[in-house]
Amino acid sequence: MSTDKSTNAGSRKGSLLSLDAWAVIVALALALAVRFDILKDVPW
């Protein structure tokens, strides 16, 4: 069974950044890619 250990606990064992931090970094990178038209008209 999986458990959400990272939300509140800072970094995971053996990882410099927490899951939250990774999620924010990747989201910001994607937002920048969209902002500067590297990613355009993402379909759904």
Partner 1 sequence: MITTTAPSPVTAVTPVKSDNALLKALRLVPGVLLLAVIGYAGKFLEHFLNTYAKAHHWTFPNIEYVLWAILIGLAMGNTVGVPKLFEAGVATYEFWLKLGIVLLGARFVLADILKLGGISVALVVIEITLSLALMTFLGRMFKLKPKLTSLLAIGSSICGVSAIIAAKGAIDADDEDSSFAIAAILALGALSLFTFPAIAHGLHMNDVSYGLWAGLGVDNTAEATAAGALYSDAAGKVAVLAKTARNAMIGFVVLAYAIYWAGRGQAEAVTNKAAFLWKKFPKFILGFLLMSLAVGFHAFSKAQIGSLGNLSKWAFLLTFAGVGLRTNFRDMSRQGLRPFIVGALGEILIACLTLGLVIGANRIWGL
Q: How near is the Cβ of 18 to partner 1 at its closest, in Å?
A: 7
Tokens 């995971």 appear where? 12
Tokens 């250990």 appear where? 5
Q: How near is the Cβ of 12 to partner 1 at its closest, in Å?
A: 11
Decide: helix, strand or coil at residue 25: helix
Decide: helix, strand or coil at residue 19: helix
Q: How near is the Cβ of 23 to partner 1 at its closest, in Å?
A: 3
Binding site for partner 1 (CB under 8 A): 1-10, 18-24, 26-28, 30-31, 34-35, 39-44
